[in-house]
Amino acid sequence: MNHISSIQCTNTIITVASWEERFLLGMNQLIETIRPSNVLMFHFKEYADWSSDNRMQVSEVCERNGIKLQGNMELSFSAPLESWKELVGQIRQSLVPGELITLDVSTMPREVIWSICHVLSQQQTPLQYVYHMPQENGYSGWLSRDPGRPRIIYRLAGIQHLGRQTALILQTGYDVERVKQLVRFYEPDKLLLGLQTGDQFQNVEQNRKKHEAAFAKSKDTDLFDVDGYSLNESYHELKMRIEPLLEKYNIILSSLGPKIGALSLFMVKRTFPEVAMSYAPSNEFNRDYSKGIGALIHGILERDLEK
């Protein structure tokens, strides 16, 4: 975890607007520190009313600071192909290949994180990631519920070999029903669940114990520890788990844990192009689940794996 003053200045910030306090507080910090000339701010149609006040305030901050804001770019959870085209098209049109950009993943859906990382990788555009946690004890109650139909990410489907068994590898979070939905949908022959280490945000009670109770005795299921707040550690832990399975299984990756862990999953996908990435949507979110802004995690994506 690093202080914001050590963030590198970039011309562009890419973000997805949220109703959460940490979205607005985090963007204000980033704009003041980085002094970008361009902000790409996407939002989701399903929660446009919730995020409208925060979007308006970011627009006002950009206007006061002479920053070009592209802020009317709407995505939809119910239209993944159209959203993918909008996302990729806007990024390709707006960014200079090879120029470092800042990606604020704090309130960004994992499907969007992976799609952006993919297009930036294609353009050989280096990425500085930023993640603002909620304040200490900032999660309250349930986060999400009513899981939707899982889907494979466009252009990240990997290679599926006929006759092979399926291995599903997940980083867990606070919604055990979304994990169960993924397991029901893919019916894996082998299931590996990465359980977040530490007791931050009631992790032991709300994540580890719930998943241990649901899956510890399941056949062909392995539970392992992973630090989803460390890009480097989670990458190497997942890489170690995947390598022995490559010859026997078609492998599907997904993440419901910290957003830094979602970035590490993309880097694992880069290392093993044959694996597939899946997004587990949720049809309902708790508007009040996150409070304030806490610790900051940031780094340079490729460089942080070289440590």
- Per-domain boundaries in the chain: 4-138+290-305, 144-284
Quick check: 170 and 242 in contact, CB under 8 A?
no
> Which residues of the chain are modeled with pLDDT < 70?
1-3, 5, 136-143, 145-146, 203, 306-307
- Predicted local distance difference test score (pLDDT) of residue 139: 61
- Predicted local distance difference test score (pLDDT) of residue 108: 96
SS3 86: helix
- Predicted local distance difference test score (pLDDT) of residue 183: 94
| DSSP summary character for residue 134 | P
- In the structure encoding, which two tokens stand for residue 262, read together? 């979602």
Q: Do the domains 4-138+290-305 and 144-284 sit in the same CATH topology, yes or no?
A: yes
Structural fold of domain 144-284: Rossmann fold (3.40.50)
SS3 145: strand
Which neighbouring-strand residues pair with 290? Answer: 139
Evaluated on CA atoms 196, 199, 203, 207, the torsion sign reads positive
User: Quick one: which of 105, 133, 256 has its CA closest to 201?
Assistant: 133
Quick check: 129 and 103 in contact, CB under 8 A?
yes
Give pLDDT tens digits for 49-97.
999 999 999 999 999 999 999 988 999 999 999 999 999 999 999 988 8
Distance CA 226, CA 243 (A): 16
- Predicted local distance difference test score (pLDDT) of residue 71: 87
Tell which CATH classification among 3.40.50.10540, 2.120.10.90, 3.40.50.10860, 3.40.50.11700 matches the domain 4-138+290-305: 3.40.50.11700
What is the helix, strand, coil percentage profile of the chain, to 5? 40, 25, 35
SS3 178: helix
- Predicted local distance difference test score (pLDDT) of residue 40: 97
208 half-sphere exposure, CB direction, 13 A CA radius = 15
Going edge to edge, which strands form the sheet with 68-75?
68-75, 38-44, 12-16, 101-104, 127-132, 296-300
- Predicted local distance difference test score (pLDDT) of residue 120: 95
- Predicted local distance difference test score (pLDDT) of residue 148: 86
SS3 236: helix
- Predicted local distance difference test score (pLDDT) of residue 199: 77
204 Cβ neighbours under 8 A, 6+ residues apart: none
Ranges of H-type helices in the chain: 21-34, 48-64, 80-94, 110-122, 176-186, 203, 209-215, 231-242, 259-271
- Say what the pTM is: 0.93
Burial class (CB in 10 A: 0-12, 13-18, 19+), 141: exposed
Going edge to edge, which strands form the sheet with 276-279?
151-152, 276-279, 249-255, 165-171, 190-196, 221-226
- Predicted local distance difference test score (pLDDT) of residue 210: 82
User: Quick one: which of 289, 261, 231 has its CA closest to 110?
Assistant: 261
DSSP secondary structure, 34-67, as one string: H--SEEEEEEEGGGHHHHHHHHHHHHHHHHHTT-
- Predicted local distance difference test score (pLDDT) of residue 306: 62
- Predicted local distance difference test score (pLDDT) of residue 146: 67
- Predicted local distance difference test score (pLDDT) of residue 140: 61
- Predicted local distance difference test score (pLDDT) of residue 21: 94
